[in-house]
Chains A and B, each alone.
Chain A
Amino acid sequence: MENLDLISILGSTIRLSIPLIFTALAGLFTERAGVFDIGLEGKMLFSAFAAAVAAFMTGSPWLGLLAGITVSVLISLIHGFASITNRGNQIVSGVAINFLASGLTAVLGQAWFSQGGRTPPLAASARFTEIVFPYAAELRDTGFIGRFYANIISGHNILTYLAFLAVPASWWVLYRTRFGLRLRAVGENPGAVDTAGISVTFLRYRATICAGILCGCAGTYLAIAQSAGFVKDMSAGKGYIALAALIFAKWRPVPVMLACLLFGFLDAFANFMQGKSVPGIGEVPVQIFQALPYVLTCVLLAGFIGVARPPKAGGVPYVKER
């Protein structure tokens, strides 16, 4: 494989991983606080729709991002209200959000724009476009390093850089702040946190709000950075893949990023290998490469990463002892 192809695949890997990274980090916050969140997919879809609509109406990607985050936080609060305050089943609440997102976005899109649930295409000024770093164009033709700089370091939109910043930021919040310590504690042993005089409910709500913000970024990325508008069901299962990445990474921030990059890479590799012939085998049917990410996930999960133990209090609504 030539260097050029490698660069191209790596560039594609990054673009495909960003929504996964944001979403998996969102899941990290809620699940570490003891609230399972199957509804990541739905929140991503809702925020993609909101971002596309707001960016179209106002012409500003920043207002789009704001709208995406706001809507996603609101949906998170609904999930919180159902599963924290009312102690409902967290899985059921999440699944409900997914169904609601898939249906409601399409219906509202059709009602407002009459384009089959799609939002109108956005102009370049209403999107997050690629940021080109200084000298990227000059360095593009100067060997591997130059090309790496031009295509991998430079040439992404602002949300991409934000996603990679969100990883150390999440680590810092979770492991180096008082809020993070309490958040992790509430996912392992909410009784102890409660005994210390800290509100379990309030902590968990704050965790779901963090998740809402991150999911909002993921949806916004899909709708107004990667594409130029909302399309029905455009999240295409990324929320579930992010959940898988989260489990894969055993609920830790940096491994989460690596797992997402791995899934992104497999996706990019499958795209790239279509129609290419493999030495010694000839042209391999594209279905094999499309199945590769799933096969690898099974193999890795089964054999290599060992037991993934979720936070102890995950999925259990907290009931104060009487």
Chain B
Amino acid sequence: MINKLIGATFVAAMLTSTAMAADIKPALVYGTGGKFDKSFNEAAYGGAEKFKAETGIEYRDFEPTGDTQGEQAIRNFASKGFNPVVAVSFAWTSAIEKVAAEFPDTKFVIVDAVVDKPNVRSVVYKEEEGSYLVGTVAGLFSKTGKVGFVGGMDIPLIRKFECGYEQGARAAKAGNEVLQNFIGTTGAAWSDPVRGGELAKGQIDQGADVIYAAAGASGIGVLQTAADQGKYSIGVDSNQNYLHPGSVLTSMVKRVDLAVYNAFADAKGDKFTAGVQALGIKEDGVAWAYDDNNKPLITPEILAAVEKAKADIVSGSVKVHDYMSDNSCPK
């Protein structure tokens, strides 16, 4: 697989030297959860694959397995002439800051964090809005009046998911209670499904019947446990409804694929812009997943309520509080 990729890139590189100038050499660096986490990173991979399928331009990617490998990978890509270099994790913030200064002619994209450099595009999402929508679904669907949240690493970004979810659940039905747990405080928290499942079990024991997992690959354990226990779960980042049809209530889809695809496409079309892009419901950056897998679970009332919440957020009549704006969540 890696060999094939390297080989393909060499071929692509040789072709580009003679082809038109618009051809680019894009590179993608994933977060530490791994490329096939069925969630965040897999969404990024999907965006890059879409670009490849449409344009035939090969890209190179790298899966850092530890927090220290990201900077090496980013610098390595930049020094080999890859452009643009897309890094999809808040964990690479300082890495991008450093490397972007070293390679002013290379275009960088960072997802989930803001880096203020003339050659860096920062793509952030309004996760609170998407989480508000799935919170609405959970709040209306729950029979016990208790809904759960299992976060990956305990960082403001993930608290932002929780906060939006909590607001949605409370708005859906007054008196709804939200239980919350985080898997850990290090990068390993993104890939510990055993603990994810155990935390979910604990919340189910406390009466939760819908659990929202924002925990990368650890979320797989949460979804699995909910399915085993005959309860319901909510997936994150990618559409995870298909993982356990009938048990996954919906997914908070974060269009990381869009960030990657747009970065590659803009670089190709010479339309690359630096600066901050904040993608919310209005920009189709976040959404709730509604497909054949969860259609039987979603009643017309829930559907109507979510559509209304969506319209309200777009029109501005409902303002979802962003945890990261003041590091607190209104109760």
Contacts and interface: CB of A to CB of B under 8 A. Distances in A.
Same complex: yes
Interface of A: 4-5, 7-8, 11-12, 15-16, 110, 114-118, 121, 124, 129-130, 151, 222, 226-229, 231-234, 236, 268, 271-272, 274-275, 286-287, 290
B105 to A, nearest CB: 33
Nearest to A9: B202
Given A115-B36, A116-B63, A121-B224, A227 B184 contact: no
Nearest to A11: B205
A72 B220 CA distance: 26
Contact of B34 (A7, A12, A117, A286): A117
Task: Please indicate which of the listed interface residues B1, B192, B198 has the most CB atoms of chain A within 10 Å of its own CB.
Answer: B198
A236 B185 contact: no
Given A8-B202, A227-B197, A232-B34, 13 more contacts: A4-B205, A8-B206, A12-B201, A118-B36, A226-B197, A231-B217, A231-B220, A234-B192, A234-B194, A271-B202, A275-B181, A286-B182, A287-B185
B216 to A, nearest CB: 11
Contacts of A234: 192-194
Q: Closest 3 CB pairs between A and B?
A: A116-B36, A8-B205, A116-B34
Interface in B186-230: 188, 191-195, 197-199, 201-202, 205-206, 217, 220-221, 224, 228
A67 to B, nearest CB: 20
B243 interface: yes
B142 interface: no
Interface string B159-197: 000000000000000000001111011001001111101
A129 B193 contact: no
Contacts of B221: 227
A147 to B, nearest CB: 10
Interface of B: 1, 34-37, 63, 154, 179-182, 184-185, 188, 191-195, 197-199, 201-202, 205-206, 217, 220-221, 224, 228, 243
Most chain B CB inside 10 Å of its own CB: which residue of A5, A222, A228: A228
A30 to B, nearest CB: 25
18 contacts: A8-B206, A12-B202, A12-B205, A15-B201, A16-B198, A116-B36, A124-B228, A129-B228, A226-B197, A227-B197, A231-B220, A234-B194, A236-B195, A271-B199, A274-B199, A275-B181, A290-B184, A290-B185
Given A226-B197, A231-B193, A236-B188, A121 B243 contact: yes
B198 A12 contact: yes
A228 B206 contact: no
Given A8-B202, A274-B181, A227 B191 contact: no
Contacts of B206: 4-5, 8
A227 B182 CA distance: 18
Contacts of B188: 233, 236
Contacts of B217: 118, 231
A58 B65 CA distance: 31
A43 to B, nearest CB: 17
B194 A227 contact: yes
Contacts of A290: 184-185
Given A227-B224, A275-B180, A15 B198 contact: yes
A271 B180 contact: no
Nearest to A110: B1
Contacts of B179: 275
B1 A271 contact: no
A7 B201 CA distance: 12
Contact of A121 (B36, B184, B205, B220): B220
Contacts of B220: 121, 229, 231
A286 B186 CA distance: 13
Contacts of A275: 179-181
Nearest to B201: A12
A222 B194 contact: yes
Contacts of A232: 34, 191
Contacts of A228: 224
Contacts of A8: 202, 205-206
B288 to A, nearest CB: 23
A233 B187 CA distance: 13
Contacts of A4: 205-206
Contacts of B34: 116-118, 232
A114 B192 contact: no
Contacts of A268: 198, 202
Nearest to B149: A275
A265 to B, nearest CB: 13
A114 B184 contact: no
B195 A271 contact: yes
A148 to B, nearest CB: 13
A110 B2 CA distance: 11
Given A116-B37, A271-B181, A286-B182, A231 B191 contact: yes
Contacts of A110: 1
